[in-house]
A and B are shown apart, each in its own frame.
Chain A
Amino acid sequence: MTFTSSINKAANPREQIVDGPKSNVMLSRVAASLYWMSRYLERAENIARLLDVNLQLLLDFGKVSEEALKQHWIPVLRASGEEDMFFQVYGTADSRSVVEFLTFSEQNTNSICSCIYAARENGRQVRDQISLEMWEVLNAAYLFLKESDVDKVWARGATEFFDQVKNFSHLFQGLTDSTFSRNEGYEFIQFGKFLERADKTSRILDIKYHMLLPKVTDVGGAVDTAQWQAVLRSTSSLEAYRRYYVAEIVPWKVAMFLVFSESFPRSIRYCIERVGEFVHLITDTPSGQYRTEGERRFGKFLQQTRFTTPDEVLREGLHEFLERVQKELLAVADHMFDSFMYHPPVDMAAEIRLHQQEQQQQQVRAPEPPQPHRNGR
């Protein structure tokens, strides 16, 4: 192992004392809250888009059998990572039950509601750090969802509802851009956002892998095209794709656009480039170098992705490639969380013992204080 030589294995930097006045310090807990706030909001937005697009996609298919409906929703549930829990709660997958589960379920910690509540709760914990405008959007989103339920969504129109959820997220991002100082906190917010987005794009793309076509010969047919189009719309990339490839929806091109586009802000390549950027800003490690094993691993993954060709992805298999992307994202997320955002909780009992000992030593040293005066002279 030669790489270890360049990795700083000295004491954890978080336990070192930084002396002298420091005006711009950030509590690790605050960094964690900003990061999760940002991730959860991005997650909610992606679920909203995914549900909206798939509801609309079904409209194109006309009358669908119960089984077909189920087959349509299963990949969506799989992308959300909560397929098993869904079937424990609901007998079968139809539009309404999936929407309810992925939007309102409290049990599902990745439902839109759970995500927005968690984003708001994290925002509340760092209420002193974020701008009033950002806080008001989080709070408005929270109040909006608290008043909604699946009946209301069904009655008033799902598209409008999901648009509103997406708008909260966009508004929040815009306000972060225009009202939040470019400090360390900003770096954690952006790191969380792009990490989540890269992960979600990979999962949405993977949905197509699980979607069944009525017949093998349907590849490239109307249904196939409609599905690929839905993937593009789920990542807000339909128009960007069209401008790039001029109109024609070709499955492979769609996949490669969402993996490799250097300019489209939801493509995997674009997002992991940003993740890398913010990793370097947060760690202070010069670009192109690494100081820890976690930084090395992500740097390698980023370099490899930069120089991977579509053919290589084809050979590896798109699904396998996407799974690997998700694994690497998880690794860098864990590494950054452990290094900067997480302090193992204080061992209260040990701390109490330590300071009680200090106290006793101090009392031995200190002169006996005069006895408090008792009544009477």
Chain B
Amino acid sequence: MLFDNYQTEGFFDEMFEADGSPRPHYAPVYNGLHQVPQDEYKNKQAAVELAFMRGGVTFTVYNDSQGTERIFPFDCVPRVIPVEEWEVIEKGLIQRLTALNLFLHDIYHQQKILKDRVIPAQIVLGAKHFRREFMHFEVPKDIYVHICGSDLIRDNDGKYLVLEDNLRCPSGASYMLENRSALKRAFPDLFRASGVCAVDTYPQQLLKSMQFVAPVNSPRQEHPNVVLLTPGVYNSAYFEHAFLARQMGIPIVEGRDLVARDFKIYMRTTSGLVPVDVIYRRIDDDFIDPSVFRPDSLLGVPGLVNAARAGNITLANSIGTGIADDKVVYYYVPKIIKYYLNEEPILSQVETYLASETQDRTYILENLNKLVVKSANEAGGYGMLMGPWAASEEIEEFRKNIIANPRNFIAQPPISLSRHPTWGEEGFGGRHIDLRPYILYGEKITVTPGGLTRVALRKGSLVVNSSQGGGSKDTWVLQNKVTA
């Protein structure tokens, strides 16, 4: 039997109670999989991987001399979220994004929150991702963040915590969709037994959100021209860009396909220059317009920022949103929620120490071997110190950097992360997971019921990033309440 030797080993396990019995909302999955002969399970897992390889559902690995494409490893046991848990997550994420969007509007206009000293002004004004150039410019419908992918984790008591917000170009939605269709092919019966919310409306909703924010000047209000801007085929997430463009039925363009004339953006097509209204861009601010930001960028479109400021093109997400997912600003998010919404945060977040605060810094420097230290503006699991597991040289290196540039670092206690049965060489073992739901801001804010569950495939590892040995799982939100 597949789960016979499975041990929770004292961690919070998504599937099993501490006593080893399956949790009620996992019962159909447990019953369906437990009986599957090991060889058959292995075959199905292999078939899914082969299908991903054949379909080119891959990402490109950087710092790999061969520049190889790899599949994002997929584990067939789905992660199941009961509807009552999901309702809280959904409400919490909507609250959080509403507040962060108000925050962005405020700091790019009157900066009330700084004047009221809820956040020290220099934290915002001095941040790497604060775009002074965009002060006092309006974005359509006042929406700055159209697509958000927040990372959630669960601590040892199973409590959901927001680990970070991704407000620039969050990736992974295509894997949420591909994982679902892969698992439907491999284990169709599991779906019938559980009743799972569909995720495949995501591309349509994404397109709708894009169309909703078309510039007011555009003569194409009914059918605005929306395109997806990719850095190109050598970007690690190119598969996703092509996938989403295809699902939405919009052109995928590179910087060289666009040209700015008279504060408007055009695509270079076989029949001439065709105007563009909305750009779902998958290029970071720094690279998007070499006439304003990094002049060495060959990926961007010179004149794009001017066109955006003139109100002739909408960028999704808007420029300058990175300030709101700065890890120092993260510390202030509960205060941001209270300030703009006068509500208590529905979702908790991880206790955070700011190296820029004298007291916190002393604590951090004294406890480097017990804390997780993060750079304020890195993503993808880079620029991180995992104190309890780090070599002493690494710790000293961070100590130096923190003292030299305290604004750039925060520290958090390590969170153990919940575990989930995951297939490995020795059968099922517990592996740490997180959750990235996708939140879209259009006419209203919607959260796709599900998301991407990332899993650290190496035993004991807490790093779930695809670039560093992470895999993923299909994520189920159940349609109905489970009666135990």
User: Chain A residues in contact with chain B, CB under 8 A?
Assistant: 13-23, 25-31, 121, 124-125, 127-128, 132, 135-136, 139-140, 143, 184, 282, 340-341, 343, 345-346, 348, 351-356, 358-359, 362, 369-370, 372-375, 377
Contact = CB atoms under 8 A, between A and B. Distances in A.
Interface string B241-266: 01101100001111011011101001
Contact of A355 (B114, B271, B291): B291
Contacts of B257: 27-29
B65 to A, nearest CB: 16
Contacts of A22: 225, 271, 274
A25 B257 CA distance: 12
A373 B272 contact: no
Interface string B124-149: 01000000100110000000000000
Given A27-B269, A340-B270, A372-B125, A136 B55 contact: yes
A contact face: mostly helix, strand, loop, or mixed: helix
User: Which of A16, A128, A143 has its CB near the most chain B CB atoms (within 10 A)?
Assistant: A128
Interface stretch (B188-196, B298-306, B321-329, B436-444): B298-306
B267 A27 contact: yes
A355 B245 contact: no
Interface string B222-248: 110100000001000011001101100
B120 interface: yes
Contacts of A358: 263, 303, 306
Contact of A373 (B111, B266, B303, B309): B111
Given A348-B302, A352-B302, A373-B115, A136 B272 contact: no
A375 B271 contact: no
A370 B295 CA distance: 28
Nearest to A125: B233
A355 B306 contact: yes
B303 A351 contact: yes
Interface string B205-233: 00000000000000110110100000001
A136 B54 contact: yes
Nearest to A353: B291
A124 B56 contact: yes
A235 to B, nearest CB: 31
22 contacts: A14-B268, A15-B272, A17-B261, A17-B266, A21-B222, A28-B268, A28-B270, A29-B254, A124-B56, A135-B55, A143-B54, A184-B270, A340-B270, A343-B256, A346-B256, A351-B259, A352-B295, A355-B302, A362-B310, A369-B135, A374-B121, A377-B115
Given A25-B274, A355-B302, A369-B135, A124 B254 contact: no
Interface residues of B, number: 57
A374 to B, nearest CB: 7
Given A355-B291, A375-B122, A27 B306 contact: no
Interface string B308-334: 011000000000000000000000000
Contacts of B310: 362
Given A19-B275, A359-B291, A373-B115, A25 B303 contact: no
Contacts of A21: 220, 222-223, 225
Contacts of A140: 54
B273 interface: yes
Contacts of B260: 351, 355
B337 to A, nearest CB: 22
Contact of A127 (B53, B242, B263, B271): B242
Contacts of B289: 355
A356 B291 CA distance: 6
A351 B251 CA distance: 23
- The list of the 4 closest CB pairs from A to B, nearest first, reads A127-B242, A355-B303, A351-B302, A355-B291
A26 B270 contact: yes
A345 B54 contact: no
Contacts of B53: 143
B27 interface: no
Contacts of A17: 261, 266, 272-275
B253 A27 contact: yes
Interface in B86-116: 111, 114-115
Contacts of B256: 29, 343, 345-346
B168 to A, nearest CB: 22
B290 interface: yes
A359 B306 CA distance: 7
Nearest to A282: B270
